[in-house]
Structure 1
Amino acid sequence: MVKLELDQVVVRRMKEDDIDTVKALIKEGGEGTENRLILHVLTRPLCLFVLAIISSVLRCVVHSFILALAIPVFLLIVFLKITMPRATGVLGTSRPCWDYVGSSLRGAGDDILENPYTRISGKTATTQKPKRRMKPKTTEEASAPSERIDPDREEAAGQVWLADCDGEIAGCVCRESEKRPGTRRICRVVVGSWYRREGLGRLLVQSLEHREREAGVCRLYAHVPFPSTLGEVFFRKLGYRPLGERTGEEGEEEDEEVKVERPERGFLGFPLTKVYFKDL
């Protein structure tokens, strides 16, 4: 763990040279998420009941209790690995995470978010040239031409904002495209393993909230993997509430929102994500 001076962190837009580093950061942050989602699905009562029925039928065929139990579980795991998008529950979208990152709009070098901690300390954050890459390019990658991305694809991908700590990318927050006026969706918040529990994730989200508030956005949504207790606690501390907590007139309005911001669902319709919201 590295001690951070949050008032010296610069939150800036991702640029072309940052894509490989961001991909490595996201891969590190999402490690194990897919396996936890699969375990979540496998342990649902309805899923266990279906597996028990299939096992009972197979036992009459293979004449082995162990094989009759293992075969359907193994086949279901393979099925989930193939059909469950790797980004599901992390991005809150069915688009592959690499396509999302590679297509995101890239801002100019001076396109940065306001750091709320600089107002407290009175210091001005500055950026330096990157010291290293988390995943250096190979010779073939360096010589290969850059991927040509259609502007419409870029616009649909949204934005990626990076936490630049003394020239090194320590975290990122991804915001989906502007699908509806007055609302935005945070679909990924990742902090490098060496910079966790230092308030960097909170800084990223609060900086993005400040920018969206100034742009006239009234509400932010966040999609969190269903079994992620840490993600739920994180957003609750920032003032986000689960979609479904409101009552009365707010509840009627929420019915329309649920149709759009519905959780991702997997095998047998089990929810894979939880939706949180915050009114700005």
Structure 2
Amino acid sequence: MVKLELDQVVLRRMREDDIESVKAIIKEGCQGTENRLILHILTRPVCLLLLATISSVLRCFLHSFILALVIPVFLLIVYLKVTLPRSIGVLGTSRTYWDYVGSSYRGVQDETLPNPYTRISGKPPQGKARRRTKPKAEDRDSSPEIVDVEREKSAGQVWVADCEGEIVGCVSSEGDCRPGTRRLCRLVVGCWYRREGLGRLLTQSLEQKDRQDGARRVYAHVPYPSAVGEAFFRKLGYRLQGEVGYDEEKEEDEEQPQRAFLGFHVTKVFVKDLK
């Protein structure tokens, strides 16, 4: 593990030249979560019953009990490996990691999120967020790229943690939610920088921005099962949607957990009211 100095981290909007780094770090975060979800699905009673039934049928045609047992499990794992990233996105959003980031970096200028550790230490961060200037009229006319405003809005915003030029983490805020609500997703910290407080910093800084923008509630879909993710969000004041103490007056804002093979829930919805 590499010691991370949080006061040297710049939290800024993703730029175009960050896209490949962000894709790589998200893919890294998907791998472990994806395997846990597959194991969770395979161990559901209904799924075990289905696999046992198929194995019994295959046993009538195959002379090997082991092959009759292994083949259905292997095929189901391959099917889930192919469909899970495309159907649920794995990290708290239905967007696939290779598709959604392409339009979310655009903006008039770079933005940054507040980093309270910088104020505490009194040290200026090493990384500098480059300020994007407005293009001239002739540049806009000659540019072949046409920005799809609606797609950019639905893609939301991707924020990266930049430490001395290296992308060490990211978090996203989806833009297709109901008015007054936000969805926090794709919270990933590089494997060498975990348990250093970076995930908490990304989450709380984004919450502060959403609060300033007028959001009253934020949701987070935590992969099921994920004891670490659940404990993380509970420490930050989130609560499981529907549990004791949930605000029934705001049930119209509820989000549905994501479902996968045979309709199994693969996420838990956590919610926090921004005050």
TM range (shorter): 0.7 to 0.9
- Paired residues for 1:97-108 under 5 Å: 97-107=97-107
Which residue does the alignment assign to 1:270? Answer: 264
Partner Cα distance (2:242, 2:58) in 1: 41
Partner Cα distance (1:230, 1:147) in 2: 42
Which residue does the alignment assign to 1:157? Answer: 155
CA deviation vs aligned residue, 1:14-53 (integer Å, no higher than 9, x gap): 1111111111121222223222211110111111011112
- Alignment-mate amino acid for residue 274 of structure 1: K
Q: Any gaps of 5 or more consecutive residues in structure 2?
A: 131-143
Identity score, percent: 68
- Paired residues for 1:167-182 under 5 Å: 167-182=165-180
Matched, 1:50 2:46: no
Return closer, same or farther for 1:175/1:221 CA change in 2, 3 Å cut-off: same
Partner Cα distance (1:71, 1:172) in 2: 38
Partner Cα distance (1:48, 1:159) in 2: 40
Matched, 1:60 2:60: yes
Q: Is the 8 A contact 1:13 1:109 kept in 2?
A: no
Q: Which moved more, 1:175-184 or 1:63-72?
A: 63-72
Return closer, same or farther for 1:8/1:87 CA change in 2, 3 Å cut-off: farther
Q: CA deviation at 1:9?
A: 1.5
Q: Please provide the CA RMSD for this pair.
A: 2.5
Partner Cα distance (2:43, 2:172) in 1: 30
Which residue does the alignment assign to 1:115? Answer: 115
Q: CA deviation at 1:274?
A: 1.2
Q: CA deviation at 1:93?
A: 2.9
Q: Is the 8 A contact 1:105 1:157 kept in 2?
A: no
Secondary structure in 2 matching 1:81: helix
Q: Which moved more, 1:147-156 or 1:220-229?
A: 147-156
Which residue does the alignment assign to 2:22? Answer: 22
CA deviation vs aligned residue, 1:189-244 (integer Å, no higher than 9, x gap): 11112221111111111110111111111111111111222211111111111111
| TM-score (normalizing by structure 1) | 0.85
Matched, 1:251 2:248: yes
Q: CA deviation at 1:76?
A: 1.7
CA deviation vs aligned residue, 1:123-181 (integer Å, no higher than 9, x gap): 44352489xxxxxxxxxxxxxxx986633222111000111112221111111014211
Partner Cα distance (2:268, 2:3) in 1: 31
Partner Cα distance (1:27, 1:85) in 2: 10
Secondary structure in 1 matching 2:91: coil
Which residue does the alignment assign to 1:137? Answer: none
Q: Number of residue pairs matched?
A: 262
Q: Is the 8 A contact 2:23 2:98 kept in 1?
A: yes
| TM-score (normalizing by structure 2) | 0.86
- Alignment-mate amino acid for residue 240 of structure 1: Y
Return closer, same or farther for 1:109/1:170 CA change in 2, 3 Å cut-off: farther
Secondary structure in 1 matching 2:61: helix
Q: CA deviation at 1:276?
A: 0.8
